[in-house]
Every structure is written in structure tokens, then in C-alpha cells.
Chains A and B, each alone.
Chain A
Amino acid sequence: QKEVEQNSGPLSVPEGAIASLNCTYSDRGSQSFFWYRQYSGKSPELIMSIYSNGDKEDGRFTAQLNKASQYVSLLIRDSQPSDSATYLCAVNSPGAQKLVFGQGTRLTINP
């Protein structure tokens, strides 16, 4: 069983709509959660970090964390074609300075 699971997509969203990306994790001891964006042929880029239950907003991005249900999500408001990328969810491995990555969700924003 995978430790961090994401729907691989592709997820197709019209321009201007809200894109919703979801991630579940298996280790209840995890305390740190990250979203990375990866454009085709490029390296992963950190876009959001969240450590506490609830919502964290940064511009058009909102990360949501629910530790009881073991899921973390990323909302992208007013989606733009430039948001088309693969989004990776990463969760810390308790007791070690390591991250476990999901396989990523490929998001396409249609003009």
C-alpha cells in the first residue's frame, strides 16, 4: 500500500474555474505537508507548506489539512493555463528528515 496517494489524472479544468487536488497519507505521525508544482521537463518547485489543521491561503492557492481523516488538498482559484503542470504531494516521514512523495496529479487548464 502506497504511503502517499494521489489521483494521477489527468485532471482537466476550464480556465477561471477552481482546480481541486487531493492527497491521502497513511502515517498518522506525519506533521508536515507540502505541495510541489512540476512543469514538464523541469524540477519540482515548492508552492505550499502546511503544518496545522485547517486552511492556509497564499494568493490563488489554498492548502487544506485534515489530520483526523489523513488528507491534504490544494485548491487553485481562477485557474490559468500557466497552472497546467503535475502537482506532487509530499508528507514528512516521522522521526527522519525525509519526505514521501505521491505520484503526482497532472492538471490541464483549458482556455
Chain B
Amino acid sequence: DAGITQSPRHKVTETGTPVTLRCHQTENHRYMYWYRQDPGHGLRLIHYSYGVKDTDKGEVSDGYSVSRSKTEDFLLTLESATSSQTSVYFCAVAPGQGNGQPQHFGDGTRLSIL
């Protein structure tokens, strides 16, 4: 158990509303990631963080922003949700002992934008 909690687990909201997903970890891992998973596309990296206030974009970052003000929390925000952002969102963490460490995933958030 990597001690990862995602909240909420399920959310239904309307187009144009802001949405924030939270990832909380208890193991003090340096790296945190947000992915989305859609049929036919697999896991795609949205943003990731390599430390407090240190973040970088992934391959599908448009329409998303992130923040990491504490080691244990990584927030993903959809400023104005669109139907194309309906997906399952996974948070993952990895220790900071060098390149190529495995990632461990939270249970996911199922987000529906109507």
C-alpha cells in the first residue's frame, strides 16, 4: 500500500464549472503524477511534480493546471470543465532515489462532465 488517497472517487458536474481533484500521499514521496485513462488511449500523463512548487507539463496538459504546496498533496484543477475531459483520473507517486523508479497508483477518480 503506497498510502495514496484520491478524492473525490466519483464526480458528476456540468460543462463550464471548475473542478479540483486531490491526491494525498503519506509516504513522503518526492514525485507525484496525474494521468487520465481513456479507452483507446491508455494512460496519458497530464502533469507531474518533482517537489513542492515544482511542476511540469505532460503530454495532455491543455485545460489542466496543478499545484503542490505541500509534499503530501497534489491538486489537479480543470478551470472550466469540458465534455472531452470526462475520464478516469489516476494519481501516482514515486520515490526520489533516482531515475527509473516504478510508480504506484491511487484508486482513481471517475469524472463525468455533462
Among B13-21, B62-70, B74-82, B98-106, the one that faces the other chain is B98-106
Q: Are B31 and A43 in contact (CB under 8 A)?
A: no
A88–B31 CA distance with the chains assembled, in angstroms: 20
Q: Are A103 and B42 in contact (CB under 8 A)?
A: yes
Among residues 1 to 53 in chain A, which have CB atoms less than 8 Å away from a CB atom of chain B?
A: 31-32, 34, 42-46, 49, 51
Beyond A97-B50, A98-B45, A102-B42, is A45–B105 a contact (Cβ under 8 Å)? yes
Q: CB < 8 Å: which of B40, B43, B48, B100 contacts A101? A: B43
A94–B104 CA distance with the chains assembled, in angstroms: 19
Contact with B along A77-101 (1 / 0, CB 8 A): 0000000000010101011111101
Q: Are A92 and B99 in contact (CB under 8 A)?
A: yes
Which one of A32, A42, A44, A45 has the greatest number of beta carbons of chain B within 10 Å? A44
Is B34 at the interface (CB under 8 A from chain A)? no
A51–B101 CA distance with the chains assembled, in angstroms: 10
The interface size of chain A toward B, counting residues with CB under 8 Å, comes to: 23
Nearest opposing residue in chain A for B100, CB measure: A32
Interface of A is mostly: loop
The interface size of chain B toward A, counting residues with CB under 8 Å, comes to: 23
In the assembled complex, the CB of B88 is this many whole angstroms from the nearest CB of chain A, namely: 9
Q: Are A44 and B105 in contact (CB under 8 A)?
A: yes
Q: Which residues of B contact A101 (CB under 8 A)?
A: 42-43
Q: Are B105 and A51 in contact (CB under 8 A)?
A: no
A45–B106 CA distance with the chains assembled, in angstroms: 10
Q: Which residues of B contact A98 (CB under 8 A)?
A: 33, 45, 48, 58
Q: CB < 8 Å: which of B90, B96, B104 contacts A46? A: B104
Q: Are A97 and B105 in contact (CB under 8 A)?
A: no
Q: Are B43 and A88 in contact (CB under 8 A)?
A: yes
Binding site for B on A (CB under 8 A): 31-32, 34, 42-46, 49, 51, 88, 90, 92, 94-99, 101-104
Across the A-B interface, the 7 shortest Cβ-Cβ residue pairs: A32-B100, A103-B42, A92-B100, A43-B105, A101-B43, A44-B105, A46-B102
Binding site for A on B (CB under 8 A): 31, 33, 40-43, 45, 48, 50, 58, 90, 94, 96, 99-108
